[in-house]
Amino acid sequence: MGRGGAHVSGYGADYDASVMRLRERGSGARTFGGEGLFATIIGTYNECLQVSLDALTGIGGEIAETGEGLHMVSRNIRAAESTNVESFESPTWR
């Protein structure tokens, strides 16, 4: 679980980098100076793209936090197991 948590945390950074590359790339859609139907479609497409990228921006942090949480769970399990072993080895249980 600890190694898996480290991998998930790395995926969060990869995800953020991917969203940043998409944002830098832009939509690729341009109008050619007209104000007709095509310009309206392009404008709506660009707005939708920006809203989508804004929505995706915070997910990378959540992925990384999930990985950290998995790593913490792994540490807590090891600590609990160690404490249980010490407890059972104490004279009280003999």
What DSSP string describes the chain? -HHHHHHHHHHHHHHHHHHHHHHHH-------S--SHHHHHHHHHHHHHHHHHHHHTTHHHHHHHHHHHHHHHHHHHHHHHHHHHHHHHSGGG-
Total domains present in the chain? 1
Spell out the per-residue pLDDT of the chain, length 94, in tens.
777 788 888 888 888 888 888 888 877 766 566 677 777 888 888 889 889 888 888 898 899 899 899 989 989 999 999 988 888 887 776 5
Considering the entire predicted model, what is its pTM?
A: 0.62
Structural domain including 67 reads: 2-93
Q: Is the dihedral of CA 34, 38, 44, 47 positive or negative?
A: negative
